[in-house]
A and B are shown apart, each in its own frame.
Chain A
């Protein structure tokens, strides 16, 4: 029984982690059809922001939850203005450009901070599920993931900005005819996606080794989840994370993390074969 509790807890943590690392990518890909290959590096920048800020004496919660999205959001904004905006509608070119950005960011951070592993300690302790120990920090991850999903939902569903955003994504020309500047909206969306990636990096910093190349370890899973989720960003990310996170954690526990990853990939291939447009390409199509 204790073990089942611990497993359920781990599955939830796995899902929450997937949600966090996927959401930023999902926003950029889902709304703008840009495959952002620098997503992992945005996370890395978020993690570095958290480590640097907490090293400089900033309160750990602010360093983890507030500063990374702000800093990485601004970096995303600058990149959008200087690189991405010239490439809208050219998927291959944006892939190449963002890949270049990703390599550049890794190089830049390596040059600035050195190729070393950094980290901050987790701000909260642990608790027991029966005779098993579990990390309280996992609860923080879950809460952040839930909060991020809820905030995104609220933003898209209930605000005027969200309405304009959705309209622009659906039909940019019509939106422009009605007085919206699609360029502004794209810029804001890209910055928002970058900020979410930064948040993921900040929140994962205490439980992973923070190094310039850390993004690579996450980015593949994020892409698979985005594709599995389909066009509805929030529902899709949530459902695909739920599915893949559960499979990955349970199989990893029963066998090894390698087989766990294989199972995740196998599930993704099966899903894409059955639902080429992702889960929300067929079900819940009208959701956000």
Chain B
């Protein structure tokens, strides 16, 4: 076909299309008004390296939206879930984030698993002014008016792990962590808490997510002779560390504590001899013996089958993110971003599987219960409860009520 001026047939086609569009436009928008759903966007990894964690979070999202819709929706409108599987690929995160914000024009976005993915999509939602909930336990410190974080942070969890280690195991730690922002910042927190508690860190090693052979790391740890090992290793390949650690007979010699172990299905797929005794601290455990906790587990099992035995804080945080948003929408009487943020900053509390959770307006993080536990024969044995932990990671520097324009991530200061 020749390029250049439009021929008559093409011009006619275009004109027809334009006319059809103009005529039908009012119908489209009018049909939408009748019971226009509120759109909730979800970005989670249902497959790929993080599919293990993501699958349950996606199910939780569906469960929470279903609960809200069964209760009549919000403001008399149903909630429509628009979910994309980001397939553990950073590129898809940014692509789908733009799609959700600009094309689907959702009212709120819930999602992101790794900190890397959060940092990839956070600026996109900042620009498009789309409210964003990040529902994962993470390294803490995000201070952004547009973002609410419902997961626990190191000041609520890692400090308890380190305290336990210092009291029961000794004062010399070795840190192994995943080589991306989560691992690095968490390792800094571990170092800070160790030093604050009068301990020392014999060494810190970072591993990219595709490392499978940990023999050299295990030798290095043995050479350093620490009294405890702190792990912030993430993902399927890194699970090999625990197996190789056990296989080298190290479990009996040096105790392990971790900031991420058990958030996936480690307890059901690994041998108890490998998992037993690894101390962790999270905002919720599926073996927590409270009515709210049991109701959540049985509700999920009723919807997704009895094999849902590997729920973790990632799932309750997802539940909390959606419920916080729902409460705020009810309180604000609107889904408009600024009104919802104002409602959330006004101090909202919800009842969640972990107990009462309160949104801290100044930091946009949650004041929540956390628990110290270790696996015992595929169950979590709760060792201690820390009620109403405050998200102190920003060291009082983050106050979004006073400085709503602040937008940064605070990391621990190791010099002080």
Which A residues have a C-beta under 8 Å from some C-beta of B?
3, 6-7, 10, 13-14, 17, 110, 114-122, 125-128, 132-138, 206-209, 211, 213-214, 216-218, 249, 252-253, 256-258, 260
CB of A150, distance to nearest CB on chain B (Å): 24
A–B complex contacts, Cβ < 8 Å, 30 sampled: A3-B219, A10-B219, A13-B215, A115-B48, A115-B55, A116-B269, A117-B52, A121-B273, A125-B249, A126-B250, A132-B219, A133-B248, A133-B253, A134-B248, A135-B244, A135-B248, A138-B215, A206-B247, A207-B240, A209-B236, A209-B239, A211-B52, A214-B237, A216-B210, A249-B216, A253-B216, A253-B219, A256-B207, A257-B211, A258-B208
CB pair B210 A217 closer than 8 Å: yes
Given A207-B240, A257-B217, A119-B270 contact (CB < 8 Å): yes
B243 near A206: Cβ-Cβ < 8 Å = yes
- B residues near A126, Cβ cutoff 8 Å: 247-250
B51 at interface by CB-CB < 8 Å: yes
**How many angstroms between the C-alpha atoms of A156 and B236 in the bound complex?**
38
Smallest CB separation, A225 vs chain B (Å): 14
B303 on the interface (CB 8 Å rule)? Answer: no
CB distance from A189 to the nearest CB of B (A): 28
1/0 per residue, CB under 8 A from A, across B205-237: the answer is 111101111111101101100000000000011
Contacts of B246 in A (CB 8 A): 121-122
CB distance from B232 to the nearest CB of A (A): 15
Question: A-contacting residues of B (Cβ < 8 Å)?
Answer: 47-49, 51-52, 55, 179, 205-208, 210-217, 219-220, 222-223, 236-240, 243-244, 246-250, 253, 264-266, 269-271, 273-274
Is B51 within 8 A of A252, CB to CB? no
The count of A-to-B residue pairs whose CB atoms sit within 8 angstroms is 127
Residues in B with CB closer than 8 Å to A116 are 51-52, 264-265, 269
Cβ-defined contact, B55 with A133, below 8 A? no
Of B213, B219, B223, B239, which contacts A117 at CB under 8 A?
A: B239
The CA-CA distance from A122 to B239 in the complex, in Å, is: 14
**Min CB–CB distance B113 → chain A (angstroms):** 13
Q: B234 to chain A: closest CB distance in Å?
A: 12
Interchain CB contact under 8 A, A6 and B219: yes
Chain B residues with Cβ under 8 A from A137's Cβ? 247
Specify the chain B residue showing the minimal Cβ separation from A133.
B249
Assembled-state Cα–Cα distance A249/B238 (Å): 18
Cα distance, A62 to B236, chains bound together (Å): 25
Question: Cα distance A115–B50 when bound, in Å?
Answer: 9
A145 to B222 alpha-carbon distance, docked (Å): 26
**Residues of chain A within 8 A of B49, CB atoms compared:** 211, 213
Contacts of A252 in B (CB 8 A): 216-217
Point out the residues of chain B lying under 8 angstroms from A6, CB to CB.
219, 222
Contacts of A217 in B (CB 8 A): 210-212, 237
* A115 near B244: Cβ-Cβ < 8 Å: no
Neighbouring B residues of A216 by C-beta, 8 Å:
210
Asked if A209 contacts B216 (CB within 8 A), the reply is no
Say which residue of B205, B243, B271 sits within 8 Å of A207 (CB atoms).
B243
**Is there an interface contact between B219 and A135, defined as CB atoms closer than 8 Å?**
no
Contact of A132 among B48, B210, B222, B265 (CB under 8 A): B222
Residue of A nearest to B210 (CB): A217
Interchain CA distance A136-B220 in the complex, whole Å: 18
